[in-house]
Structure 1
């Protein structure tokens, strides 16, 4: 079975989507529509902007979403049997399997980006990558730092877990991770503690927008970050999407579940090849490819 996967924030690069725009009339139409929906020329930043300009959350999230979704929607061979997305990529997956319309998906992603940026300003916070420790060890260390907020945020692959929390909490946690034998524990250049309780203001804002959005019956199951389970139940999908901002991304668990449910090849749609690399580390037997 073919599983299509969609990347999250961090996959962006200058010039992303330009080829697609110039060589596919259907793609050009969708990009132009996106400029109208957003009220600014995101294509100009995507095609001509610097890495620095692309790094701003309110640009990054819609840019990665657009590249991922348009690439899939205009591809003649795109026939998903299951989909999943990493963090922001879950919104791309939900458009790809027909749960959300292109327009509604983009509007939600933009609202999410603005709400997250606002939450980062309310609670200055950050994230760090921990390499070479077992998940249980990382979880235990996080739970032991009681005076600050520190939680596991992204279960990316075995031996690679991203933690999220207050600036002070992450600083303490990195020291403790190194003492426990981590190969590396390094703060990431991000604007806030995504997938942690510190994103609660953004979750509340997004909840309202999600509840007001039309969700359709999906063409195939979406494996969601919150519980790593495949679902075609519209209400469950909504609830999981609302919880996603303050809950960890269970990517390792999602890939295992998709393999168990019959996925033989994971095809990544969007900028970069990060997810293909993670899939190979989670399950060496799985075949990976880029949708291009």
Structure 2
């Protein structure tokens, strides 16, 4: 089988997300979490071990916490001698994918993740943002609904991502998002509100994108050593320059996860390992590719099962 490691975004966060893993591998707390505490000056180890759901309301905290948990799980997989044939990440998960592909050092990616969360939280507080997943309508139909909501409210609401063929994310200012989701419900859609802390993947982040770009310019990117698919374009990233361009546009560009998974499948990938907390991403992959083999790693038991199966097929 051909295997991709895929890395989850903010929707996979939950309080105490690393507690069980660090109980078994306390060395990872020093390697990643306490090192990150010292670098960023925030108690990420505490959030990931014994935090409350409210700790995760701030994307400047939640996003580094998710990233670090993905790094810890990746370390376990690497320690077992397991290497992916390709990697990709959903939204925030793209930063972990860049580390797995050799494009960024994990501490470099951590700084970028923290800055990204801070910038988005600032915009979200200023404009009054909301994000929702809409299940049912096509992307084109939802784009039409968003256009009508913008015209009616004078506020921004946009399609922010295609998670799978029947699930599309909308993001923007709260009143416009509410109007768009009400219209979608009236047309038979199901709506799930997402706690993101800001209008990710929308034009509202244009100012933040400009500031973020200044930091990207000062960051050393390297050519991928593992095949890498971008969640921004849904296509392959083959150079350091392409990776930097993808990250620069990620704040304001919609996530193209359906396209990214399709690109991996077209290259022969038929097994996906969700590296990090939660099972959200695995569910999306299953709905995009019903025949794919999907492993989660969000508990020690699931991680051990994934290691056993990956090791057995690699032998």
TM-score if structure 1 supplies the norm length?
0.94
1:26 shift after superposition: 4.8
CA 1:2–1:24: 2 relative to 1, 3 Å: same
Match of 2:180 in 1: 173
Q: Is the 8 Å Cα contact of residues 151 and 196 (structure 1) preserved in structure 2?
A: yes
Indicate yes or no: 2:142 matched with 1:141. Answer: no
Q: Secondary structure at the match of 1:177?
A: helix
- Counterpart CA distance in 1 for 2:120 and 2:22 is 28
**Secondary structure at the residue paired with 2:4?**
strand
For structure 2, which runs of at least 5 residues remain unmatched after alignment? 298-302, 304-315
Q: Secondary structure at the match of 1:129?
A: strand
Q: Distance in 2 between matches of 1:78 and 1:18?
A: 23
TM-score, with length taken from structure 2: 0.87
The aligned residue for residue 82 of structure 1 is 86
TM superposition shift of 1:25: 5.7
- Asked if the contact 1:203/1:246 (under 8 Å) is kept, the reply is yes
1:53 is aligned to 55
Instruction: State how far apart, in whole Å, the 2-side matches of 1:24 and 1:186 are.
Output: 35
Q: Tell me if structure 2 keeps the 8 A contact 1:46–1:54.
A: no
Deviation at 1:187, TM superposition (A): 4.0
The Cα shift of 1:203 comes to 1.3
Give SS of 2:265's match.
helix
- Correspondence list, 1:118-157, <5 A: 118-144=122-148, 145-146=150-151, 147-157=154-164
Q: Relative to 1, partners in 2 of residues 1:101 and 1:173: Cα closer, same or farther, differing over 3 Å?
A: same
> 2:118, 2:182 → 1: CA distance?
32
Greater than 6 Å deviation, 4+ residue runs? none
Question: 1:98: how far off?
Answer: 1.1
Is the 1:98–1:216 Cα contact (8 Å) retained in structure 2?
yes
Whether contact under 8 Å (1:61, 1:109) holds in the other structure is yes
Residue 113 (1) aligns with residue 121 (2):
no
Partner of 1:24: 25
Count of residues paired in the alignment: 291
Does residue 202 (structure 1) correspond to residue 208 (structure 2)? The answer is yes
Paired residues of 1:27 and 1:71 also in contact (CA < 8 A): no
1:258 aligns with 2:231: no
Asked if 1:159 is matched to 2:187, the reply is no
